[in-house]
Chain A
Amino acid sequence: MMNILIAGVGGQGTLLASRVLGRYALLSGKDCKLSEIHGMSQRGGSVVTHARIGDKIHSPVIWEGGADMIIAFEALEAMRAKHYLKKGGILLVNEEEILPMPCIMGAATYPADIQSALKSEIENTYFIKAQEIATEAGSAKATNVVMLGCLCKLFGFDKALMQQAVAECVPEKFRELNLKAFELGFQRV
């Protein structure tokens, strides 16, 4: 059983990332359930998507303390979601920081140095400049696929199957770009 929680900000492409994991499950002959939230929170709010892969999945939702891995598309969202992580689980964080409205307005303060806080608390914490790498691959929008490349490496997923899953989940004209983003994520983490 593999529980992967994807945390981010509405509009960052967390849904595509979970669909790729679902496709990976199909290709590897496993059961899978995904859970996501649409609607209001997609307008720049906190969003989490749950991906569960295994022999037989009941709940579509991962429980607190049950995630094998958290992929956070934004640093503050990593802080918000970290209690979902299992002891010994992997935390992968995109270094990008997006200020939430209360911080923009000065009603709250964005935590300083999230990176060291998380690294000192969680042994398997990896920070990656995913957006920068995606831009290098051709588009900042491929940040999600860079993160999937990292996940593939850290988790030891079957690389060829993951590449196939990515290729099958993105529009044809962005296929090459996304596969490049995936490869760069795989190499740089």
Chain B
Amino acid sequence: MKELMLTNQAIARGAYEAGVRVLSAYPGTPSTEIAENFAKFDGIYAEWAPNEKVAVEVAVGAAVAGARAMACMKHVGLNVAADPLFTAAYTGVNGGLVIVVADDPGMHSSQNEQDSRYYARSAHVPMLEPSDASEAKEFVKLAYELSEKFDTPVLLRETTRVAHSHGFVELGEREEQEIKAYEKSPQKYVMMPANAIKRHVTVEARDKELGEYVSTLTEINREELTNENEIGIVCSGVVYQYVKEALPNANVFKIGTVYPLPMTALKAFAKKVKEVIVIEELEPYIEDAMKAAGIDCKGKELFSLQGELSVVKILEKFGGASVPTAESVPARPPVMCAGCPHRGVFYVLGKLGLTVNGDIGCYTLGAVAPLSAVDTCVCMGASIGMAHGFKKATNGESKNVAVIGDSTFLHSGVTGLINAVYNQSGITLLILDNSTTGMTGHQQHPATGKNLLGQPAPVVCLDELCKACGVKDLAIVDAYDVKAVETAVKNAIASPEVSVIIAQRPCVLLDKSAKPKVKVENCRKCGKCMKLGCPAISKTENGIVIDTNQCVGCEVCIQVCPFHCIEKA
């Protein structure tokens, strides 16, 4: 039976069929749906971890205990999880271990465009890269075989165009895997120097063996020869699909194991073609490795290091396309939803002229005009550390605050807060608690009271957590109450101690209950409400109008209007 599946769903299916028992993940576009779909199967265990490092550690533990395990994350999540990854490469596994990492060329929903393939090379962990949903499911199964055969974690890399595309997938049966017996082996699992030195030798030997082995995997590292002595294209992932469409008659070498690269097979391919061209998104990862191995090839002199490739971009280089250009029309950037509880908070921070150290989530949109309130955004949790750094650099003079979400605070913000308390910077932190992981599509986390399956779970109480970190000045406000937010912020920035304000209100997309709407009378066109950047409010010649289809009745505009022209309807 075949089914049309999102690749992330196919990966979950592959894990299920491969007998995976334990999956741990932190949400991150474009990887989130793997855990969500895996959780739907019976007889398995799946969870949201507070961050990717924990997720990988859980999976490593489950694998060492003898079960097949998986951890999933987006590319920047692998930075967080890099610590266990590099050393799990030394310990190896017992039951198979696969770590899925989803890169985002073009940055559809990310803060950078890093290329995770270098992690595989650097950690000496094999990495597979499928090019569509059907292949993804098969690659997951192969990844578990490799993991157990070579006693190593295996990375599975996908990019947005693979992760978020659908294709037909043939369903298979689950093959139950017995839990392998765990045997105490400190030489293998206790990575202190004396043991790790020996394991590093094992890792290098494994790497060498794998390097030869992957050239024999001719199903996934395969030549598609059509015209010998013509150009030969080397590619992997979704780029393979673009190449097949743009240049259907070209010689192609499709790489399935991006680490180790099948160099023996690639050398053989290079001898059969006139010229080798590597087509890859982001970094010249394959190209550099091939050149280092003595294969003459071209790559990044033809294609960009930035953004996604496409059929047309490939055709352009081979003289076959004239690309129709897009009409120049007003941009439509993403915006905070009408009724978003973050809006009033950023309005206040902007009004008070504060420097705002922001973080990763929907509230990053507080940087966009007209709110234009956010000054910095680097990575998850960075808001708090950066706010502390601002204070220390300016002897406490800087007028800055840190803003972070509830899920993000638990992900990696809390350590920053501990640092600020411990090292006494007197920062002000606003935790925008919307009771969910918003941007990725509403996943549960340790403070929502529910687990991945939606079952009741113990709640991490954010205010108690802050107090336990040593915070003495703490206020809880309703995010829709503009005045209360303003008062709390003014008090906090005046305090010499670390102050935390928890602004509570569930994400507006979660709460769909009908609410009272608002109406406008005798608008004086002062423009104050327009500074909220609410998509439901627009300007006309006769003053502002509020789109009743979009308005959810948050009443923030009522509080902002100085002439009381906006009222409850």
Interface residues of A (CB under 8 A from B): 9-11, 18-19, 22-23, 25-26, 31-46, 57-61, 63-66, 76-77, 79-80, 82-84, 99-111, 140
Question: In chain B between 157 and 190, which residues have their CB closer than 8 angstroms to a CB of chain A?
Answer: 160-162, 164-168
B210-247 interface code vs A (CB 8 A; 1 in, 0 out): 00000000000000000000000000001001101100
CB of B52 closer than 8 Å to a CB of A:
no
Partner of B108, one of A40, A63, A103: A40
| Alpha-carbon distance A109/B328, docked complex (angstroms) | 12
CB of B109 closer than 8 Å to a CB of A:
yes
| Alpha-carbon distance A143/B538, docked complex (angstroms) | 23
Partner of A44, one of B160, B245, B330, B334: B334
- The number of inter-chain residue pairs (CB within 8 angstroms) is 172
- Assess A105 versus B530: contact at CB under 8 Å? Given A38-B29, A45-B334, A59-B311: yes
Interface residues of B (CB under 8 A from A): 2-4, 29-30, 32, 108-109, 132, 160-162, 164-168, 238, 241-242, 244-245, 310-312, 315, 323-327, 329-337, 362, 365, 368-370, 439-441, 530, 533, 535, 537-539, 549
| Alpha-carbon distance A76/B74, docked complex (angstroms) | 32
Residues of B within 8 A of A57 (CB): 167
- Assess A40 versus B334: contact at CB under 8 Å? Given A32-B168, A58-B245, A104-B535: yes
Residues of A within 8 A of B242 (CB): 58-59, 61
| Alpha-carbon distance A39/B238, docked complex (angstroms) | 20
A40 and B439 contacting across the interface, CB-CB below 8 Å: yes
- Assess A140 versus B549: contact at CB under 8 Å? Given A34-B165, A38-B30, A59-B311: yes
Give the shortest distance, in Å, between B488 (CB) and chain A (any CB): 26
Determine the main DSSP class of B at the interface with A: loop
Instruction: Closest B residue to A87 by CB, please name it.
Output: B324
A61-B310, A102-B369, A104-B538 given; name 13 further pairs at CB < 8 Å: A34-B166, A34-B167, A38-B108, A40-B108, A40-B365, A43-B334, A44-B332, A44-B335, A60-B161, A66-B311, A77-B332, A102-B332, A108-B330
- 24 sampled A-B residue pairs with Cβ under 8 A: A32-B167, A33-B167, A35-B161, A38-B32, A38-B441, A40-B29, A43-B337, A44-B535, A58-B245, A59-B244, A59-B311, A60-B132, A61-B242, A61-B310, A63-B311, A100-B330, A100-B333, A101-B333, A101-B335, A101-B368, A101-B369, A104-B538, A108-B330, A111-B330
Residues of B within 8 A of A33 (CB): 132, 165-167
A31 and B530 contacting across the interface, CB-CB below 8 Å: no
B335 and A63 contacting across the interface, CB-CB below 8 Å: no
- Assess A32 versus B108: contact at CB under 8 Å? Given A43-B335, A43-B337, A58-B241: no
Instruction: Closest A residue to B361 by CB, please name it.
Output: A40
A41 and B334 contacting across the interface, CB-CB below 8 Å: yes
Instruction: Closest B residue to A10 by CB, please name it.
Output: B334
B4 and A25 contacting across the interface, CB-CB below 8 Å: yes
